[in-house]
Amino acid sequence: MKVQPSRKIWGIPVLLGLITLFGLLSALLGTGVWWVLAWGAMVIPLIVVMVKTRIWKAFQKG
């Protein structure tokens, strides 16, 4: 495989970081719908880990 450009290496990690920070702050600074947005944002990195580590598939198989 060829050497990847930095943008490709860092794209998803930076995005996940920003999503996490958004979630952390939105629950702190707001209430109501901001809490729901925070939950929605912060499960994204968790889901990414589950999918990529295939824990997800193990769950589906039971």
Partner 1 sequence: MSTLKNIKRWFWVHRWTSLICTLFLLLLCLTGLPLIFEEEIDHLLSKDAPYEVLPKDTPRANLDDMVKVAQQRYPKEALSFLFIDDEEPQVVVNMMPSLKGNPNTRHEMQFDARTGKLLKDEPSEAEQPQTFLGLMLSLHTDMFAGLAGELFLCLMGLLFVFSIISGIVLYGPFMKKLDFGTVRTGRSTRLKWLDLHNLIGIATAAWLLVVGITGVINELSTPLFGLWQITDVKKMLDQYKDRPLPKSQQLSSIQEAYNTAQKAVPGMTITSVIYPGNVFGTPYHFLIYTKGDKALTSRLFTPVLVDANTGKLDAVVNMPVYLKGLEVSRPLHFGDYGGMPLKVIWALFDILAIIVLISGVYLWVVRRKFYADYFLRLSSEENI
Between residue 10 and residue 29, which ones bind partner 1 under the rule CB under 8 A? 10-13, 16-18, 20-21, 24, 27-29
Give the C-alpha separation, 16 to 1, whole Å.
24
Q: Is 3 in the site for partner 1 (CB under 8 A)?
A: yes
The count of residues in the chain is 62
Side chain identity, residue 42: M
CB 45 within 8 A of CB 20: yes
Residues of the shown chain interacting with partner 1 in the complex, contacts defined by CB under 8 A:
1-4, 6, 9-13, 16-18, 20-21, 24, 27-31, 34-35, 38-39, 42-43, 45-46, 48-49, 51-54
